[in-house]
Amino acid sequence: MHLAALVDLGVPEQWLREQLAKLPVSAEFTLELRPGQKMGISGTRASVSTVDTHDHRHHSTIVKMIKDAEFDPQVESRALAIFQAIALAEGKIHNVPADKVHFHEVGAVDSIVDIVAAALCIEHFQPDVVLCNPIEVGSGFVDCAHGRFPVPAPATQELLANAPCTYGGVSGESTTPTGAAILAASVSEYQPKGIFTPIRIGYGIGHKDFEIPNVLRVALGSYTTTKTSKSSNTHYKIEANIDDMSPEAYEPLMQAIFAAGAVDVYLTPIIMKKSRPAHCLIALSEPEHKDRVIDEILNRSTTIGLRVFEFDKRVLPREQLTLTTTLGEVSVKRVTQPNGQKRWKSEHEDVLRLAEQAGMDYRSAKARIDFEIEGLLQSD
């Protein structure tokens, strides 16, 4: 439903299929996208048919699969973060390290396609912030690989820790572990208190029938925080000096920190006492994810302590646009300065993609695209 909703919102179907074809298991699935309807609401319905004979895969196998596909770095990072979130949840439930987790349902090809497609579609829009209403998880029981469990499934509930949930709104499971993982790794703010101005709407039509329309609605628009929206203005900077950890360990550590809800994670080379080379690990987090980010750093790095600073963040009002040029559609981020003037920037990945499709060098394609965007925005 998430995939269908974002395609309905405007993700180009041909581009999506070309990207998914990079997966090593591309011959094992077929993606069908077609119009759908539930209780009078029209949108897009997605189905993934597979010939996959594996119902489970090791976390490391899926990580290699995604890296071998050579997606854009942002797509790879987001897809790995979603799977890392599932691994952390499953690892906690079964009391095993995340890197030792065997995925069952989410290790099958259709779930891999769902998650990679989610990363592709989200990164296509390059959102500055992802907002979400309280999550309805449903009621009743669900059959999992380990038996029959009450809704929500254990992994779903673990993934939605610290997220606002509602229960019993429908009969049956309305949020799966895959859906919960996409939310856990992507949502910046639940129950947004700022002002959201929707520009485009997309509907993903589900296959089950509930008492209410089984439809996922997504909207693309601009968001302006208010003074009462504390989670958008107040952030925490969490940092630790580390001089005794293998460099190879930083990438999975950073993925785990992102999966825990960090807004940003980065490393700064430093020199410590006795001229020892080291790194300062820095994570930025909103208040609702702070404790989880701190726990991940302490659990998964060699540091024995860290520093936490509260700071205020001022962000210019911004809007995400999708404009059509003679080379194709391009995402444009436009911000409004305090003096009322506006400035914009075309999305690098879109320009690169269109340049390759047109057989042009990047600089020429960008100059042409930006010239046309300027004209479109002036006539707006």
Q: Which spans in the chain are helix H?
A: 2-9, 13-20, 59-68, 73-94, 109-125, 154-159, 177-186, 230-233, 250-259, 290-300, 348-358, 362-378
- Tracing tokens 């009322």 back to the chain, one arrives at 340
| Domain end residue (candidates: 205, 224, 243) | 224
pLDDT above 90 covers what percent of the chain? 70
Residue 288: the pLDDT is 87
Residue 94: the pLDDT is 81
pLDDT at 145 over 80: no
- The secondary element (H helix, E strand) that includes residue 332 is strand 328-336
Same domain, 323 and 290: no
Q: What is the mean pLDDT of the chain?
A: 90
- SS3 of residue 275 by DSSP: helix
Same domain, 187 and 212: yes
Q: Read off the pLDDT of residues 107-134 as tens digits, 9 standing for 90 and up.
A: 688 889 999 999 999 999 999 899 999 9
Say how far apart CA 53 and CA 236 lie, in whole Å: 45
Same domain, 337 and 289: no
Residue 214: the pLDDT is 95
Report the CATH number that the domain containing residue 308 is assigned in CATH: 3.30.70.1380
Same domain, 334 and 294: no
Same domain, 137 and 279: no
Q: Are strands 189-190 and 131-132 parallel, antiparallel or unpaired?
A: parallel
Contact between 127 and 140 (Cβ < 8 Å): no
More confident of the two residues 1 and 144: 1
Same domain, 245 and 348: no
Identify the bridge partners of residue 307 per DSSP, sorted by sequence position: 239
Say how far apart CA 37 and CA 234 lie, in whole Å: 41
**pLDDT interval class at 191 (50, 70, 90):** confident
Residue 379 sits at φ, ψ, to 5 deg, of -85, -5
Which range has highest mean pLDDT (13-17, 86-90, 310-314)? 13-17
For the full predicted model, state whether its pTM sits above 0.75.
no
Contact between 248 and 301 (Cβ < 8 Å): no
Say how far apart CA 106 and CA 156 lie, in whole Å: 12
Contact between 120 and 77 (Cβ < 8 Å): no
Residue 65 sits at φ, ψ, to 5 deg, of -60, -45
Same domain, 266 and 170: no
First to last CA, the chain: 33
Same domain, 121 and 213: yes
Same domain, 43 and 62: yes
Same domain, 42 and 116: yes
Q: Which domain holds residue 264?
A: 231-312
Same domain, 164 and 292: no
Number of helical (H) and strand (E) elements in the chain, helices listed first: 12, 21
| Domain end residue (candidates: 312, 341, 368) | 312
Contact between 106 and 180 (Cβ < 8 Å): no
Same domain, 66 and 200: yes
- Name the region of 240 (left: φ>0; alpha: ψ -120 to 50; beta: rest): beta
Identify the bridge partners of residue 142 per DSSP, sorted by sequence position: 149
Give the chain's domain count.
3
**Among candidate residues 8, 6, 161, 192, the one with its CA nearest the CA of residue 85:** 161
| Domain end residue (candidates: 224, 259, 292) | 224
